[in-house]
Amino acid sequence: MNTRVKISLNVALGQYSERKGTDHLSLFSELLKIFELEAGFLEKVGEMDEIFDQNELFEPLREIVFDLLLINFFTEDVQKLEEDYLESEEWEDIEEETLDRGTELLNVLLYIKECEDEAIEPELGDFLKEFLLVEEDEFQDEHRIYEEVIANQILVDSSLDEVARVAKSLPEFSELKELFYPVMAFFRNLNPDSQELEIFNKHSVSPGLDASVYALLVSYNNQKS
């Protein structure tokens, strides 16, 4: 299992469980076994889903963990497969079958890794324009999904209570509603101190999920490959 993913998974589960008043170590242990399985991606997804079916309290993290499972596949599992596996019909079928799985957090994680490769700091404008290419005509799906983020880029220079206020005002159908607050907070401050985290939690829109996602992003950004 990719060490960076392992640490970030533990941090994310830990932050969530802390706000829910429970323990995450048993779930973390079970998920580790799945990440480390010598099995196909879809088999791992099925095993992961069974674990979450048995741990309903952690349900809000199911698709977040799917994102990490996919990142782990890209960084670890694919190294054991044929060189052009990601261009094979088999992988195309897997992509089709999991089209509705995961979240937009995957894009942020992939962007963080690209920033490391290019030795630059993650930055919201760069993420939108250079990574997602939201200004290009052929990437209008990304523009639609990230419309609220594009319109509110100024929030990276605003207070957390203002970020939270905008997050709460987003329409229910927004694909980024659940992730808006922690993702914007991350681009606002890549390395929050304890005081900043206290303020973040105070204004949290969804305490468990918000803390989990923000911690995951900070951890993933701070771990180097």
Residues 58 and 131 in one domain: no
115 lies in some domain: no
- Note whether 142 and 217 are same-domain residues: yes
102 part of a folded domain? no
d(CA 11, CA 30): 15
Averaged pLDDT of the chain: 95
Confidence of residue 80 (pLDDT cuts 50, 70, 90): confident
Domain extent, residue 90, equals 3-97
Of 51, 79, 97, which one is at a domain's C-terminal end? 97
Q: Is the domain of 135 the same as that of 209?
A: yes
69 and 138, same domain (yes or no)? no
Same-domain pairing of 88 and 136: no
Mean pLDDT across 186-213: 96
Q: Any residues with CB less than 8 A from the CB of 122 and at least 6 apart, and which?
A: 111, 112, 115, 186, 187, 190, 221
User: Confidence class of residue 139 from pLDDT cuts 50, 70 and 90?
Assistant: confident
User: Both 93 and 130 in a single domain?
Assistant: no
pLDDT band with cut points at 50, 70 and 90 for residue 206: very high
Q: Structure pTM?
A: 0.95
Shared domain for 86 and 127, answered yes or no, is no
**75 with 68: CB under 8 angstroms?**
no
What are 85-130's pLDDT values in tens digits? Answer: 898 999 999 999 999 999 999 999 999 999 999 999 999 999 999 9
Whether residue 110 lies inside any domain: the answer is: no
Cα–Cα nearest to 150, from 186, 169, 176: 176
Q: What is the mean pLDDT of residues 164-192?
A: 96
Local confidence band at 131 (pLDDT 50, 70, 90 cut-offs): very high
Give the chain's domain count: 2
Could you say which of 97, 131, 160 is where a domain stops? 97
Please give the share of the chain, as a percent, with pLDDT higher than 90: 87
Indicate if the pLDDT at residue 225 is higher than 80.
no
Nearest to 156, CA basis, from 193, 110, 122: 122
Q: Which of 38, 44, 32, 34 is nearest to 3 (CA)?
A: 32
Average pLDDT, integer, range 149-172 = 96
Q: What is the per-residue pLDDT for 77? A: 87
- Alpha helices by DSSP H, listed for the chain, are 3-20, 25-35, 41-53, 62-75, 89-97, 105-118, 124-126, 140-145, 147-151, 160-169, 180-188, 194-202, 207-222
Q: Is 148 contained in some domain?
A: yes
pLDDT at 84: 85
73-91 as b/e: b if 16+ CB within 10 A: bbbebeeeeeeeeeeeeeb
